[in-house]
Structure 1
Amino acid sequence: MGTWDVGPFDNDTAADFSGDLDEAPEGEREGIIRDALLRIIGTRDYLNQDIAVEAVAAAALVAAQCPGGESITTAYGPDLPPPQLSSELRELGVQALDRVVTDPSELMELWGDTDKDGSWRASLVQIRTALSTASSGGTATPLAQG
């Protein structure tokens, strides 16, 4: 895992995902974000870390447009901001993040083997809180735990 920190874009796979978004026509960017979220929702099989990382990055992009969401300021995020995203992506983002931290998940296992697991989970909680608060009208729901 080419990772240098715990943020949603602090790894090679998410940086590549950002590049793919930048290269896509503006009208296709929301579909790319939606696909990254939908790919893992409902997956009961072993979740590959690369698609999990893309889902986390996609969820962070959706959360950035929510009230209280954190702006994407890292150089590894997309250079071009996504268009205004559909509010239905907020719930998909919540579901995707919940799947990332549900067994079997390679990304969760990899972080669990490091001393940064708590910081990584805290970054997911921050993203998920913005998404769930915005999609539920003000009440955040807790992040699932493995």
Structure 2
Amino acid sequence: MGTWGYKPFDNDTAADFAGDLDAAPQSERIEMLRAALASVADDVSTHVIGGKAEIAIAAAALTVRKMEGGEEFQSEVCGPSSEIPEIPKDLAPLALDAVSRLLVKDNDLWEDWSQREDGDKWFSMLQRLNLVLSKESSDSQESLW
């Protein structure tokens, strides 16, 4: 089926990632999120392929799940059903880097969604996710001072 909606878990790749999180020991789930985010945030030299981007968006959605405004990005149906440990504070800036990178045009998802009738909904969702992450990242920086 591929993609059936514009939300973070409304595609086969993200739904499979949620299943992988459920299957993994709880002690490995944060590192799985970190790896998914880093695969986009840290790889600035190349075009981001769609599957990697979809997983990073799902990981970013899980990163914000307990933040103000983060409930919008959760899925009762296709997200992970098992517990995700508390998200470390250093994951929000990494998620912000990944989502910010996807807001530029050098990725498959941008190209795919720009051709779709509801592409503006996907782009708007990504902007809102970026906004939640931006607020959390700035709050985290302020707490250091």
Give the structure-1-normalised TM-score.
Answer: 0.88
List alignment gaps of at least 5 residues for structure 2.
141-145
When the two structures are aligned, how many residues end up with a matched partner? 138
Structure 1 runs (4+) deviating above 4 angstroms are none
Instruction: Report sequence identity in percent.
Output: 37
Alignment of 1:56-67 (within 5 A): 56-67=57-68
Q: After superposition, what is the alpha-carbon deviation per residue over 1:113-134, rounded to whole angstroms, capped at 9, x for unaligned?
A: 1111110011112222211111
Which of 115, 125, 128 aligns to 1:126? It is: 128
Measure, in 1, the Cα distance between the counterparts of 2:137 and 2:123: 21
1:136 Cα shift? 0.4
Contact 1:44 1:104 in 2 (8 A): no
Bigger helix share: 2
Q: Aligned residue for 1:68?
A: 69
Measure, in 1, the Cα distance between the counterparts of 2:134 and 2:101: 15
Q: Aligned residue for 1:3?
A: 3
Bigger shift: residues 75-84 or 94-103: 94-103
Q: 1:68 is aligned with what amino acid?
A: G
List alignment gaps of at least 5 residues for structure 1.
139-146
Measure, in 2, the Cα distance between the counterparts of 1:111 and 1:44: 22
Measure, in 1, the Cα distance between the counterparts of 2:17 and 2:25: 14
Q: Aligned residue for 1:116?
A: 118
